[in-house]
Structure 1
Amino acid sequence: MVLFDGHVHTPYCPHGTKDALHRYVEKAIQLGFKGLTFTEHAPLPESFVDPTPNQDSGMNLGQLEEYLIDIRNLKKQYENEFMIFAGLEIDYIEGFEEESINFLDQYGKELDDSILSVHFLKAQDGYHCLDYSPEAFEQLLRVHGNVESVYELYYQTLQKSILVDLGAYKPKRIGHITLVMKFRKRFPNPNINKMAIQSILRSIAEHEMQLDYNGSGVAKPLCGEPYPPDWVIDESLHYKIPLVYGSDAHQAKEMGRGLNRLKKNAPLVRPV
């Protein structure tokens, strides 16, 4: 097992803390990790209107170069003792593929690693951020009528993110594939479509992508399990999908969270 955290946020996150980059690194070293990827939320497409109340889902485009410079400087500081990758968490937003391609074409060559995630769903009344809050999730339920329909929309969007051509710098890892279950204790879904998840895993395997084994769900009171849970990990191992642990830390003290709840036999790797 490789102790590498492939999903770490930074002070450049508008909805995180201002913990300095080196604090994440020092905490990771203290926990016995060999490296990490800083994966700040990438700037959202310019023409996309962030549906969250504070419109703070992605970092400011004007700060991106500074972010990359800070990581380069940190790499030099720790080059003999700790592996640091520069990365981003890219949002797949249905209908904004062209802008995502243009962004990746411009900045992808400066990244060592990246994650492709689905946070926004295109619903009948516009876009919704599915993980912002229980109340925001409930709005999706009202639009779609029931929890099963929201799950299906998430699976369909996730599948599109895997299959879409985003150019040469498309991320090679899919983020927290069961994020739709973040509020499962308040909005239980008794009819989980396991075939849909298996289809997603097959697509990840066929496209030789990695999977973000995300421990942050353990700390979410309405979730209480990793993204994804054990049975999905069992399926991913069947398809021989490489698993990269991610704390999804938005402050230094969250490094390593959920690690003790991952499957004991799950072989963790570092990003490719």
Structure 2
Amino acid sequence: MTPSIDIHEDGHVHTRLCNHAVGEMEDYVEQAVQRGLTTLVFLEHLETDIRYPQPSWLNDEDFAVYFREGERLKQQYRGVIDIRLGAETGFNPAAIPIIRRRLADYPFERVGVSCHFYRHGDVHLNLLSNRRQSLDKFAAIGADTVITAYFNALTEAVATLDCDVLCHLDAVLRHLPGICFNDGHKRQIEQLLDSMQAKNVALEINTSGFDYRGTPFPADWIVAAALRRGISLRAGSDAHQPSEVGRHFDRLPAYLAGIKSLSTSGATK
């Protein structure tokens, strides 16, 4: 039997409020309705104490707009599509108490966890940036060092935060050529999945990966390892413009059917 995933729910979309996407919230809802989705989850960026020159997240004023407009849309589209308001919580190991407080202050209906930034001296570097300057800095620091810190951060995030889903697990340094995970990184991923299993945290199948590398985030062997642990899967487009809502969801059943043999054999890459 093909692993279960709901391809009529997009659990991860962003809007102009995050400062690096386009489109109003209603634009995303309309696109979801047109695509025949039954549920749309806004998972807007929440970052805490990040020192980065171009904010790519919402501030408190933005979240006020977010919830006000989200509640309006819930009423307007009641009976048409289920709309949920969540957060993609960027993990900062130096700000755990503040992150917890902020999550408690907002009525989030889903909390995703991710890690977008790496502390380097007195500033942060964007782990998912395609800017040449950022990539050169990461190359100078050493990809293995950065990746090790990334997986340590995700494991700590799952252990210390109340969260529902882990987003784009292996997207770290996705724009740095020649990236691969060594045996130590693979052990970290196994430990991370163990933590997710223990806390009943779902794994996101992020279909933006089809556009970046031809397969979703995370890699098939990671999904297989998650399935062996009974970890549930959530589909997320990581849309940053309305046209990307539900992107490539039609490819997921066949993709996951191909992973079934990996999950039963225990194979890794």
Q: Specify the alignment match of 1:198 in structure 2.
A: 190
In the aligned structure 2, how far is the partner of 1:65 from the partner of 1:230?
Answer: 38
Q: Is the 8 A contact 1:226 1:258 kept in 2?
A: no
Alpha-carbon spacing, 1:153–1:106, altered in 2? closer, same or farther (3 Å): same
The aligned runs of 1:224-235 (5 Å cut-off) are 224-235=214-225
- Specify the code of the residue in structure 2 equivalent to 1:50: R
In the aligned structure 1, how far is the partner of 2:100 from the partner of 2:86?
Answer: 16
In the aligned structure 1, how far is the partner of 2:179 from the partner of 2:102?
Answer: 37
Instruction: Normalising by structure 1, report the TM-score.
Output: 0.84
The runs of 4+ residues in structure 1 deviating greater than 6 Å are none
Gaps of at least 5 residues in structure 2 are 261-269
In the aligned structure 2, how far is the partner of 1:22 from the partner of 1:187?
Answer: 39
The aligned runs of 1:121-270 (5 Å cut-off) are 121-123=118-120, 126-135=123-132, 136-143=134-141, 146-164=142-160, 166=161, 170-183=162-175, 186-189=177-180, 191=182, 193-220=185-212, 223-262=213-252, 263-265=255-257
In the aligned structure 2, how far is the partner of 1:99 from the partner of 1:56?
Answer: 18
Report percent identity of matched pairs.
28
Q: Specify the alignment match of 1:120 in structure 2.
A: 117
Choose 232-241 or 59-68, whichever is displaced more: 59-68
Aligned alpha-carbon RMSD (Å): 2.1
- Specify the code of the residue in structure 1 equivalent to 2:229: Y
Q: Specify the alignment match of 1:26 in structure 2.
A: 30
Please state how far the C-alpha of 1:180 moved relative to its aligned partner: 1.0
In proportion to residue count, which structure has more helix? 2
Please state how far the C-alpha of 1:205 moved relative to its aligned partner: 0.5
- 2:19 pairs with 14, 18, 24, which one? 14
Instruction: Normalising by structure 2, report the TM-score.
Output: 0.85
Please state how far the C-alpha of 1:261 moved relative to its aligned partner: 4.7
Please state how far the C-alpha of 1:27 moved relative to its aligned partner: 1.5
How many residues are matched? 250
